[in-house]
């Protein structure tokens, strides 16, 4: 092997695989978990995915979001990071504050925008609170407000949908 690493001459060096996970900087384990979540729960771009209202469902929602934004929509890693963080905040609010047994996750894309929705059966509205530097909680909607281009709540006959939208470049 010519040009190998010092002290490792003659040792086979790992080669980069041609997968989307390597190309986009997503660790292979996370990418595999995201694909399993998509297979198990369904694709939130096809229809609303219903998840149990438990803290561990936030990880599932993050994986689904990552898989859709990076793999299916082929959007930049920073867009994925922001979408994953904001989904986690909306799911956290649905799990902590609504008393629901399940919540729904839906992802939509139209020209120049993505929209991610979390639906729950509570009609209680989320409240954007002022955030202080030393606050250890209550930052969720503050982050949604800062990182999304638009966000809001749609009241439904039985519950609400909290959503955010982000501008994206179409290729």
- How open is the CA angle 100-155-102, to the nearest 5 degrees? 20
Provide the domain count of the chain.
1
46 belongs to a structural domain: yes
Give the chain's mean pLDDT. 83
Query: Residues, the chain, total?
Result: 171
pLDDT above 80 (res 152): yes
Tell me the CATH number at 159.
3.30.565.10
7 belongs to a structural domain: no
71 belongs to a structural domain: yes
Lowest mean pLDDT among 20-29, 31-40, 106-115, 162-171: 20-29
15 belongs to a structural domain: no
Task: State the Rg of the chain over Cα.
Answer: 19
| CA–CA dist 129, 140 (Å, integer) | 9
57 belongs to a structural domain: yes
pLDDT at 131: 72
Neighbours of 171 (CB within 10 A): 6
150 belongs to a structural domain: yes
156 belongs to a structural domain: yes
Average pLDDT over residues 104-113: 97
| CA–CA dist 49, 56 (Å, integer) | 15
Q: Which two tokens stand for residue 44?
A: 């939130």
> Within a 13 Å sphere around the CA of 26, how many CA atoms are in the beta-carbon half?
27
Cα(first)–Cα(last) distance of the chain, in Å?
Answer: 39
Lowest mean pLDDT among 1-10, 27-36, 156-165: 1-10
User: With bands split at pLDDT 50, 70 and 90, how would you rate the model's confidence at 20?
Assistant: very low
pLDDT above 70 (res 89): yes
pLDDT at 171: 65
């Amino acid at each position: 092997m010519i040009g190998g690493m010092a002290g490792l001459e003659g040792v086979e060096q790992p080669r980069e695989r041609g997968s989307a996970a390597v190309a986009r900087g997503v660790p292979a384990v996370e990418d595999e978990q995201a694909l399993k979540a998509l297979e198990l729960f369904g694709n939130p771009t096809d229809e609303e995915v219903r998840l149990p209202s438990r803290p561990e469902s936030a990880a599932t929602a993050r994986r689904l979001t990552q898989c859709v934004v990076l793999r299916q929509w082929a959007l930049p890693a920073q867009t994925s990071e922001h979408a994953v963080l904001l989904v986690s905040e909306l799911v956290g609010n649905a799990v902590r504050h609504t008393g629901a047994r399940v919540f729904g996750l839906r992802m939509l894309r139209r020209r120049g925008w993505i929209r991610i929705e979390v639906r729950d059966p509570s009609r209680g509205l989320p409240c954007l609170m002022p955030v202080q530097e030393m606050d250890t909680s209550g930052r969720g909607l503050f982050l949604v407000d800062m990182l999304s281009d638009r966000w809001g709540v749609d009241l439904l006959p039985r519950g609400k949908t909290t959503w955010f939208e982000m501008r994206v470049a179409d290729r």
